Structure 1
């Protein structure tokens, strides 16, 4: 191999590494979903002040619900037979592992359904009972105004694609929002212990 050929090979390799570096968000992301998550955490968007209707038919804005607490949010729909039940079970595990005082004073758990047509308050009330949600410190709710729902999903990078059978393809995660309504973390919903430690660390540091 001549020197020119060696140089050409090196250039090609370096170019390939540069493309990989950019495409994987500095080697941190190997999927489009991870890259999107990293971008969300970097940008820390503000959560829109949407109006919620919960399982007890109460309506209030996101700000009224939050009341200077952190928010721990999931997005689901009750007819989901795949990932949603596991998502909510894992959320239940996080809820049960946090100190009672933290649940009472520092953080609000919230599961939001994006199937507003089927997930009325009565359905959400039944669904929450499967996961020992108390309907207060952990609420399940829907957003009746489609435009507001779409804005929230878009702001938090939640992709929801309906099919022809009343189901949805969607990404799944834990979303942690600070006391001022800004997203500060998107966590792998399968990593329960990590989520618990992250919440404790953030709230503990905030209280220090």
Structure 2
């Protein structure tokens, strides 16, 4: 059973990792942070804007640090205050950008989404060959991914949810992804995934 679960996690990660179903881990945070930094560089910010954005970031970090030190509030109060600070930081950041820069930022986000979809399609094509997936299975996996993508976007965009609630819902989506794939793949294909994982692990250890 543990091997089956591990195998499902492997293919879920392989096919859906370019999606937004991932949990907000530290690795994911740094990944998103790097993307955001690269995006900001393409907006041709003025020296004044760069300074304003730095001040905004520093202010946000300092407030978050002080909030983390505050032991006189409840967990819920701290969570709500952190969420409010994040929203304020984002609002302040957007107010620094010009209308043209905001339009360009949206276009960059769309371009990134196109690249992400292309990467997922390439991964799925490889899995089709390695697992001998039928066209029907591929169609079902694509449909499942699209559904998970839309649900995860709705969760992230829901300002009524706290960060903790979003994390919980995203983790539930991850489990839903595993269940969806389990219903699509055959036992032989799941075993094949486990075999591919084992081979990949052995190659890494041999380096």
Q: TM-score, with normalisation over the residues of structure 1? A: 0.20
Give TM-score, length-normalised by structure 2.
Answer: 0.20
